[in-house]
Structure 1
């Protein structure tokens, strides 16, 4: 702009002149031979070309003389303003770039700081873990050292106790030995003294013995003479008077007749009372009330009289097909009693704890009959009395006015084959008595046998059976139903009734029972019922009296392990019998 504004700035030519002078000075300085090459090169940087200024001045003069000088000036101002605006835009853009760079730098710094903090945290955690490991190792070392010290102390105490016990034993043995020696010496001294006294008093003792013998002989002879005189006088008087003889004979006859009649009558009355009122020795449990039971428990007797027949399968969980068959048997038995027909004999066989005894009781209650339970193993100890006991049982059963369901548990204990070498003569006689009393159908009692090994029955026993029912181990569905039944009975009902120290944690009871049903494969109904009792025991043993799902599952797993242990204890023959009875212990649906 200096050449355009040359008119307004008179100093411009002077500046040009000054520039020329400067150029000349620079040229002189460059041409100075006394300068080094580096100095010459530095001086060339200050060299100024004045030709451009001369051309600019000439153009300014030309422009001043032109008529378009003002338009050119305005145009140059506009160009200058545009350049300034572009410059300002570039400046602002540069400033924006600078701010962005600063923000990016801050972000990078923040990220680096965050990484640094993370790394420091990680190092602190590692340091803390290392210190914790060191502390644990020190604690374990201390524990091991304390344990070693305790073991050494215990060993020393045991050795000390052993030494003291040995010393005490030696002392006792020595005391016993000394006492025995003293006793022997004392006994020897006493015997010597007594022998000496006896030798000195021998004549006196012999004289005393002779006097006592003479007095005893005189006394006996006088007694015999007196008795003979009295008896002789009596017989002489009785023989001379025949009325006295007849009276004495009749009195003795009447006394003998009274004694024998009283003895026979007492036996008949006692047997009648025993048959009507008493309970035979072989019967262990019965629902039939005797007169003595009614006097002892009148309320229970009245309650029993008012009780209504219950469902035969109430509380009994079995396979659906088996339940249907047992329900038919219950209905037939009830109708038989109502119509006073002949009862059918039933055999229930299968593994123990599958509900045979329970169903027998329910069957008697459903049909309105009394039930009585006897065990086959009770017959053998009775030996020869077993036959009499069997007859007493059936005589007692025939006196029932309501009908009696006689349940014989473990019947194979005395009803086994008569050709077997294991059966004794007494058992064979008891078996014959049993066969005699069950030879025909009876309207007074119903015979129900239960056995785990029915193949050992005598053929005559099998001939007297009208129905054979097999009770298998519960399958998956039956186990789940049993678990739900006993969970409700032993857990939910006590918890709902507000039993003391008996609370229940909230969890999915149905899912827990389904899970346990899969774990309890091979277990009988009795074992599952004991599992229910173990849940109650877990609550009573807990600190807060709350039954949790973990406690329930732990008890279930413990019961499963106990069942496996029981099976492992069986001998090879018993295992074969167990598998044949249970069908291998697999689920049967």
Structure 2
């Protein structure tokens, strides 16, 4: 029956009208030949297909369908089944209509959403076009302003050029006028001189006799006066000499006076030399000393305020402003404490050798050590000794005589000491330099409580063995590592850039960026660079800001200077390797060996 109900539902009218029980339509399945047939109660069949398509038609299917239809009509539930099928069909139609309306509503909502999106896109497009128009208008206005400024500048240059040409023209006219005036004045002067010469010649010709007589009378009078003066002087000198010779008391007094005068001159000469040497040793500065904190009379007279501040200054930390590795910092701090206590107890000072690459803080620490210990410092350079020649021995003795007169104690810092303290057995050292080295060894043979010797060298292996015997402690100042470089970068950035920018006393401003992150990045990039090179890099940042139009130091400018410094450092290292390779060919050793980490000297 369910199969039959399906057949009835499939053949129900679209309007949902009822069908007669005996005439219910029945849709048949396709025939084996591909055709369809419809059986209606009491109706007629469709048009017969051609014989060639229905030649294999089986009529038993129609019979079975007719039999099923008759059974369905004879059933007492036929009307109920038909009504139920119609209701189901109506329900399906209602569901289809509901789905169709929902689909139409979704399509309408989608259209509304599409319209809203299009409106939003159109609004954004209009906003973007407005921004573009504004930017284009601003840019055009900027270009117009620039063109106007350029036109004004060109006009100003043209006006200046015209003014300069006018001034040159006026100057040329003035010069031509002065030349004409000078020519006229010269002509007038020549005419005047010529007229005066003619007049003088005419007067001389007319008065020649009178002039010759006047000259003759003047010459005769002058001759008479000279002869009388000579006679009078001879008479006076003769009488005086006769009286002096005849009086023995006057002769004795004269001889004694001349003798005392000679003795006084000789004594004054020697006394002046002794006093000069004493003043030079006590108050003057030796010629070998380049820089000193010891106060001289001349310096006190020239800079009284500076000298007063130095006398009233307190002791400073020996490592203030000096950035070293933790191990080296602990070691040099012990040296500073020991030196300060040695000065307080008036004990014997120890001699120190500081070696390492240039720019690692050797000279700076020597100054800080002297100030921390309450001593005076004096800095000399080994390269100044060789040019002195024979005067080197005398200058060396004067240096140590001057050092021994210090009341506070003197820290004698010899920079580039290997320049004159090299091995005496080599043929490269001259006789004068060898004599100066012997004088230095003589004056430093024993420890002193007057001065402390601090040597600094980049090549300590060239020292004479006697110099190594006089060194009590050696300190290696190596290149700064990452942590030390970051501290150096931050310190010099604060000193040369951040502090001047915040104080506002200089034409320097700083753009907004992460300063701490930038300092850490620079510290990583500056591997192998010394403290002096990092300081020069900070000065380069300051110079870049000064060279800019607005005085603002940007992050890009800092990066550019860092890249240049790194490239220059690499170039220096290449030169150093080339020089080391050339030197190693003759010596059989690497001159960079003392600076290799972990290699003893």
Q: 1:228 to 1:544 in 2, by over 3 A?
A: same
Q: Which moved more, 1:188-197 or 1:226-235?
A: 188-197
Residue 230 (structure 2) aligns with: 224
Residue 445 (structure 2) aligns with: 441
Residue 264 (structure 2) aligns with: 258
Q: 1:394 to 1:148 in 2, by over 3 A?
A: closer
Following TM superposition, by how much is the alpha carbon of 1:316 offset from its aligned partner in structure 2, in angstroms?
A: 2.2
**What is the rounded CA distance, in whole Å, between the counterparts of 1:492 and 1:524 in structure 2?**
21
2:504 matches 1:474:
no
Q: Is the contact between residue 486 and residue 532 of structure 1 (CA under 8 Å) also seen in structure 2?
A: yes
Q: Is the contact between residue 316 and residue 359 of structure 1 (CA under 8 Å) also seen in structure 2?
A: yes
TM-score by length of 2: 0.62
Q: 1:123 to 1:290 in 2, by over 3 A?
A: closer
2:242 matches 1:239:
no
2:406 matches 1:400:
yes
Aligned-partner SS, 2:532: helix
Q: 1:318 aligns with which of 324, 336, 342?
A: 324
Following TM superposition, by how much is the alpha carbon of 1:514 offset from its aligned partner in structure 2, in angstroms?
A: 1.5
Q: 1:104 aligns with which of 86, 95, 106?
A: 106
2:564 matches 1:561:
yes
Structure 1: tracts of 5 or more residues without a match: 1-48, 51-71
TM-score by length of 1: 0.63
Q: 1:137 to 1:185 in 2, by over 3 A?
A: same
Q: 1:350 aligns with which of 347, 351, 357?
A: 357
Q: Is the contact between residue 476 and residue 521 of structure 1 (CA under 8 Å) also seen in structure 2?
A: yes
Aligned-partner SS, 1:243: helix
Q: 1:370 to 1:115 in 2, by over 3 A?
A: closer
Aligned-partner SS, 2:285: coil
**What is the rounded CA distance, in whole Å, between the counterparts of 1:112 and 1:151 in structure 2?**
56
Aligned-partner SS, 1:558: helix
**What is the rounded CA distance, in whole Å, between the counterparts of 1:292 and 1:486 in structure 2?**
35
Tell me the alpha carbon deviations over residues 139-171 of structure 1, each in whole angstroms, 9 at most, x when there is no partner: 688579768866875785576467546634643
Tell me the alpha carbon deviations over residues 463-516 of structure 1, each in whole angstroms, 9 at most, x when there is no partner: 787377664543433211212444566788999xx9678999997654332212
Q: Is the contact between residue 441 and residue 466 of structure 2 (CA under 8 Å) also seen in structure 1?
A: no
**What is the rounded CA distance, in whole Å, between the counterparts of 2:197 and 2:333 in structure 1?**
92
Tell me the alpha carbon deviations over residues 349-382 of structure 1, each in whole angstroms, 9 at most, x when there is no partner: 632x321211212333455543112345667898
Following TM superposition, by how much is the alpha carbon of 1:230 offset from its aligned partner in structure 2, in angstroms?
A: 2.5
Q: Is the contact between residue 418 and residue 458 of structure 1 (CA under 8 Å) also seen in structure 2?
A: no
Aligned-partner SS, 2:122: helix
Q: CA RMSD in A?
A: 5.8
Q: 2:525 aligns with which of 519, 531, 535?
A: 519
More helix per residue: 1 or 2?
1
Following TM superposition, by how much is the alpha carbon of 1:242 offset from its aligned partner in structure 2, in angstroms?
A: 0.8
Aligned-partner SS, 1:318: coil
**What is the rounded CA distance, in whole Å, between the counterparts of 1:223 and 1:434 in structure 2?**
70
Q: How many residues align?
A: 505
**What is the rounded CA distance, in whole Å, between the counterparts of 1:563 and 1:187 in structure 2?**
74
Residue 114 (structure 1) aligns with: 116
Following TM superposition, by how much is the alpha carbon of 1:327 offset from its aligned partner in structure 2, in angstroms?
A: 5.8
Structure 2: tracts of 5 or more residues without a match: 1-41, 44-75, 584-589
Following TM superposition, by how much is the alpha carbon of 1:397 offset from its aligned partner in structure 2, in angstroms?
A: 0.8
**What is the rounded CA distance, in whole Å, between the counterparts of 2:162 and 2:235 in structure 1?**
87
